Amino acid sequence: MSTNQLQLARALDLPSRTAMLNREHSVQQFWYNNDDLITDAWKEWEASEIDASTFTLDDSLLDKNLREAVQQAWEDPSKEHLVKALLEEVAPDVFQFQFFNPERLAVLRGYLEQVWNSNIPMRPPYGIVLNRRGAMLDKRSEGYLAAPSFQAFYNEMLNTYMRPISRLLFPEIMGYDTQTFGFSIYYDPSTDASIRPHTDASAVTLNINLNLPGEEFTGSELDFYDQANGKVIQLGFKAGTAMIHRGNVPHAAKPITSGDRTNFVLWLFGDRGRLPAQGAQRPEIEAKERWTTPVTTPDGYAPF
């Protein structure tokens, strides 16, 4: 790796927002042609511009109870009830729990702030709508956040935490959880403020709030539509909390009316994006099958 990849990446002409929104061919070409350069630039950036002793991304950022329960379940899956006990059902099949330790979140947010200021080309998420100040997190995505320590942390969140927790709550997703996907989103009243009702192209979605304690916002609740009785259940995020739900539960983000909100949205699905059938039987699965990591290789399929 030559040492000026970072400079070269910073000098690239990013495709315009309109071109990105129109999914023009030139945009795909841009990411394809510059993939290696940009990946090397992230490595160089992390080695030269990030203070590794301050910005260590590891499980010490997570809630201590969650970390300890998950660690015990990995060592002895018969203890997975310790994890389950931390998950509160706040709407039918929607669970909330403390994911990050709010006091430690400043490390992650500080890191992400430097990512944002890095001037390395990044592709914002444009799933349901474009989110201007968001990033693609998974290696399968063009213009993803390829910094090595971030990638290790991202994969740990999905493989060590999200997948077994998902299997514990939604056993029918077993086998439809081999592939990972993720993005970050940022809402404020003047740019990207809401998302209309939709379902996700995931088997399971884990949505984690990254706001710091005291970083208040109003509005921006998630509405979950309970198909059984037509009711809407409105849920709010607090610093470092997460919601986990099947991808096919309709939901929307209400407009944010003051402040801002930053979240990670993490998805699991099967190979080539396969999803469990609607209303799939919920099989009995043994605990020891849940606390495993699939050997499947990432297939490169990206839903958006």
Nearer to Fe ion, 71 or 194 (CB): 194
Q: Tell the smallest beta-carbon distance from residue 179 to ligand AKG (Å).
A: 17
Q: How many CB atoms lie within 10 A of CB 272?
A: 10
Binds 202: which of ligand AKG, Fe ion, none (CB < 5-8 Å by kind): none
Q: Tell the smallest beta-carbon distance from residue 185 to ligand AKG (Å).
A: 6
Nearer to ligand AKG, 77 or 125 (CB): 125
Nearer to Fe ion, 151 or 263 (CB): 263
Q: Tell the smallest beta-carbon distance from residue 241 to Fe ion (Å).
A: 16
Instruction: Report the interface residues with ligand AKG, using CB under 6 A.
Output: 127-128, 185, 195, 200, 207, 222, 251, 253, 263, 265
Cα-based angle 157, 199, 219 (whole degrees, multiple of 5): 80
Nearer to Fe ion, 138 or 200 (CB): 200
- Residue 301 backbone dihedrals phi, psi, to 5 degrees: -70, 130
The dihedral built from the CA positions of residue 300, 301, 303 and 304, taken in this order, carries a sign that is: positive
The alpha carbon of residue 34 and the mean position of all alpha carbons in its chain are separated, in whole angstroms, by 24
DSSP string, 243-299: EEEETTS-EEEPPEEES-EEEEEEEEE-GGG--PPTT-------HHHHS----PPP-
Q: Tell the smallest beta-carbon distance from residue 158 to ligand AKG (Å).
A: 16
Binds 46: which of Fe ion, ligand AKG, none (CB < 5-8 Å by kind): none
Binds 184: which of ligand AKG, Fe ion, none (CB < 5-8 Å by kind): none
Binds 211: which of Fe ion, ligand AKG, none (CB < 5-8 Å by kind): none
Nearer to ligand AKG, 115 or 195 (CB): 195
Taking the C-alpha atoms of residue 258 and residue 40, their distance in angstroms, rounded to an integer, is: 38
Tokens 């039918």 -> residue: 92
Binds 157: which of ligand AKG, Fe ion, none (CB < 5-8 Å by kind): none
Strand residue runs (E) in the chain: 88-91, 94-98, 179-187, 195-198, 204-209, 218-219, 222-226, 231-235, 241-246, 251-253, 256-258, 261-269
Taking the C-alpha atoms of residue 268 and residue 165, their distance in angstroms, rounded to an integer, is: 12
Q: Tell the smallest beta-carbon distance from residue 199 to Fe ion (Å).
A: 7
Binds 253: which of Fe ion, ligand AKG, none (CB < 5-8 Å by kind): ligand AKG
Nearer to Fe ion, 98 or 205 (CB): 205
Q: Tell the smallest beta-carbon distance from residue 73 to Fe ion (Å).
A: 27
Quote the tokens at residue 264: 């990670």
Nearer to Fe ion, 251 or 290 (CB): 251
Q: For the chain, what is the total number of helices (H) and then of strands (E)?
A: 9, 12
Binds 107: which of Fe ion, ligand AKG, none (CB < 5-8 Å by kind): none
3 secondary structure, DSSP code: T
52 secondary structure, DSSP code: T
- CB of 146 closer than 8 Å to CB of 205: no
Binds 207: which of Fe ion, ligand AKG, none (CB < 5-8 Å by kind): ligand AKG
| Closest chain position to ligand AKG (CB) | 253
Q: Tell the smallest beta-carbon distance from residue 263 to ligand AKG (Å).
A: 4
Instruction: Report the interface residues with Fe ion, using CB under 5 A.
Output: 200
